[in-house]
Chain A
Amino acid sequence: MGDYVVFHDVSWHASYAVYFFIIGIAAALFFFSFLSWHQEALRPLRERTAYWSFGFLVVGALLLINDLSQPARFLYIMNPVYLNWGSPLTWGGLNLIAFGAVAAVYLFLLRRGGERWIWETHALAAVGSLLALGLPVYTGFDLSVHQSRPIWNTPLIAPLFVAMSIASGAALCSLLVARDEAALRMLRRYMLWSAGAVGVMLVSLLGTTAYGGVGEELTFQLMLSGGMGLLFIGLGMVLGTALPIVLMLAPFGRQHTVLAVSALLLLAGGAALRYSLLMGPQIVQTLY
């Protein structure tokens, strides 16, 4: 013993995980609003999800700005002279701004447009849904470009964030529609498939991480043990991903109460997964 190791702080704290969670839900809610133009069962969700999405977007953006150590300088992200076009954060920031603008106009048209602007509103929903898809993709991409971080540095992170976004968004939608049978049936399918995709990707991610070098191996051990293990495996994978799938596939899986419980578990699991995926891979690096 007697070693001297300098303490290094993690780069991104838990508030980023909250941001990932909120912005993922905002993206998925907008996506469901777009889907309502094509799936009649989701029609009752169109306006509600658009409003909730915009609300989550505003909260997420404020969180992101507040997390900067120089919050007022978030305006630099809008200055083309300053921008580094090679940075994933640049494209993420622009994606966020573009999505906010499209979502605001879409909301306005939904409120005031009526039948006259129906084609334009639909088109905006399509454009907005693509930009919404960009939100979990860019948040995943922000992590995956960091070559020295195990788990982050894998192409799987962006699709994983997309699947987690759809799972959390569908879960919240199912709580919003309450007792609409047709919408619940459709949302149950989205919850099942997205939670399944999350589970498969997490297992693949863990498998490749356990197989990696010493940094990966240590990260794997940290993610699976102690408090982080409880969050990642216990709440994130077992309670927040596997259990909702089992509940929804059970013979009583279509009951409203069971769906509501599954949705709540998916939301809690989504939050835990984002936290552990953000914080876990940073721990080993702080010891280097």
Chain B
Amino acid sequence: MSEELRVSSIETRGVAGKKRYAMVIDTRRCIGCMACQVACKAEYDTPLGVNRTWVPYKVVGTYPNVKKQFLPRLCNHCDDPPCVRNCPVDATFKVEDGGFVLQRYERCIGCRTCMASCPYNARFMLPAHRTYTDITKVVDKCTFCFHRVTQGLAPACVQTCVGRARVFGDINDPKSEVSYLVATNATQVLRPEQGTKPQVYYIAADRNQTEFARDAYRQPAVMEGDRTSFQRNLRT
């Protein structure tokens, strides 16, 4: 990104001397095995009903020309994140060197304004009861596996992806694989019109999934099941 496109002082993409982690997701390589979703669940013990990363799919086309189109989703670790702007107590913040958008659990008051401000539904409320941790009733989200990346490891979802559909790295480093992929492929981000400057880039994402669809009037039964389960067990 050129200097001219940077409008906010919080943005770190293209700033010399600073890391800016990003993820490239090549949807052509995604087989929908959901291993990334499982790896993330295992890494963080994410409760049932909520996800840090998820892989929705849509069957597109008309028989016999049909395809299952996957779109792995996660927090976009925006360069200009509205959740950070909105949090009244600085519970969510952006790490300047690396660009991770993280959450301070001990400070979150649970007002959910960050959830309302996120155009990607990347944030969720943790339930009141959890087995292995007392981090409950605060907002949570994907961290780009901050704890792993700072130890020189790849995020859990990237490490486990069998098709190498997910690639992670420093987009400020011109020699990184993500820089190469973004430079040599036509990529897109989700909801660019929001001006959040997301740092998850998609190759060959399907418009049936990146845009609002008529699902408002055609809610799949599975979602109704999720909704009922959520109301019964997880609402805090």
Note all chain A residues with C-beta closer than 8 A to B118. 148
B110 and A83 contact, CB distance less than 8 A = no
Note all chain A residues with C-beta closer than 8 A to B185. none
Note all chain A residues with C-beta closer than 8 A to B191. 148
A145 and B86 contact, CB distance less than 8 A = yes
Does A250 have its Cβ within 8 Å of any Cβ on chain B?
no
On whether A73 and B110 interact (CB within 8 A), knowing A5-B223, A9-B230, A89-B88, the answer reads yes
**Could you tell me the distance in whole angstroms from the C-beta of B81 to the nearest C-beta in chain A?**
12
A77 and B120 contact, CB distance less than 8 A = no
B215-227: CB near A (< 8 Å → 1, else 0) gives 1110110110011
Cβ-closest chain A residue relative to B216: A218
Note all chain B residues with C-beta closer than 8 A to A93. 88
Note all chain A residues with C-beta closer than 8 A to B55. 4
Sorting the interface of chain B by its residue count into under 10, 10 to 19, 20 to 34 or 35 or more gives 35 or more
On whether A70 and B85 interact (CB within 8 A), knowing A1-B220, A7-B230, A287-B219, the answer reads no
B222 and A89 contact, CB distance less than 8 A = no
Interface of B is mostly: loop
Does B22 have its Cβ within 8 Å of any Cβ on chain A?
no
Interface residues in B106-130 by Cβ distance below 8 A to A read: 107-113, 115-121, 124-125
A145 and B117 contact, CB distance less than 8 A = yes
B212 and A82 contact, CB distance less than 8 A = no
A68 and B89 contact, CB distance less than 8 A = no
Q: How far is the CA of A286 from the CA of B56 in the complex (A)?
A: 13
Interface residues in B67-126 by Cβ distance below 8 A to A read: 73, 82, 85-90, 107-113, 115-121, 124-125
Does B137 have its Cβ within 8 Å of any Cβ on chain A?
yes
Q: How far is the CA of A83 from the CA of B58 in the complex (A)?
A: 42
A84-106: CB near B (< 8 Å → 1, else 0) gives 10111110010000000000000
Note all chain A residues with C-beta closer than 8 A to B215. 3, 5, 287
Does A149 have its Cβ within 8 Å of any Cβ on chain B?
yes
A88 and B212 contact, CB distance less than 8 A = no
A288 and B82 contact, CB distance less than 8 A = no
Note all chain B residues with C-beta closer than 8 A to A147. 82, 117, 119, 194-195
Cβ-closest chain B residue relative to A222: B216
Q: How far is the CA of A286 from the CA of B89 in the complex (A)?
A: 25
Does B146 have its Cβ within 8 Å of any Cβ on chain A?
no
A70 and B88 contact, CB distance less than 8 A = no
Does B138 have its Cβ within 8 Å of any Cβ on chain A?
yes
Cβ-closest chain A residue relative to B51: A6
A148 and B119 contact, CB distance less than 8 A = yes
Interface residues in B199-233 by Cβ distance below 8 A to A read: 211-217, 219-220, 222-223, 226-227, 230
Note all chain B residues with C-beta closer than 8 A to A127. none
Does B176 have its Cβ within 8 Å of any Cβ on chain A?
no
A77 and B109 contact, CB distance less than 8 A = yes
A70 and B212 contact, CB distance less than 8 A = no
**Could you tell me the distance in whole angstroms from the C-beta of A48 to the nearest C-beta in chain B?**
33
Q: How far is the CA of A7 from the CA of B231 in the complex (A)?
A: 11
A4 and B212 contact, CB distance less than 8 A = no
Note all chain B residues with C-beta closer than 8 A to A215. 212
**Could you tell me the distance in whole angstroms from the C-beta of A174 to the nearest C-beta in chain B?**
34
Interface residues in A175-223 by Cβ distance below 8 A to B read: 214-215, 218, 221-222
On whether A6 and B54 interact (CB within 8 A), knowing A87-B87, A89-B86, A287-B215, the answer reads yes
A53-91: CB near B (< 8 Å → 1, else 0) gives 000000000000000111001101101001110111110
Interface residues in A115-136 by Cβ distance below 8 A to B read: none
Binding site for B on A (CB under 8 A): 1-9, 11-12, 68-70, 73-74, 76-77, 79, 82-84, 86-90, 93, 142, 145-149, 214-215, 218, 221-222, 282-288
Binding site for A on B (CB under 8 A): 49, 51, 54-59, 73, 82, 85-90, 107-113, 115-121, 124-125, 137-138, 191, 194-195, 211-217, 219-220, 222-223, 226-227, 230, 235-236
A-B contact pairs, 11 of them (CB 8 A): A3-B58, A3-B220, A6-B51, A12-B112, A76-B107, A84-B85, A90-B89, A145-B117, A148-B191, A284-B212, A285-B121
Given contacts A69-B137, A73-B89, A214-B211, 10 further A-B contacts (CB under 8 A): A3-B57, A4-B55, A84-B87, A87-B86, A87-B113, A142-B113, A145-B86, A146-B86, A146-B116, A148-B191
**Minimum-distance CB pairs A-B, first 8:** A69-B110, A7-B226, A148-B119, A89-B88, A11-B116, A11-B115, A73-B109, A69-B137
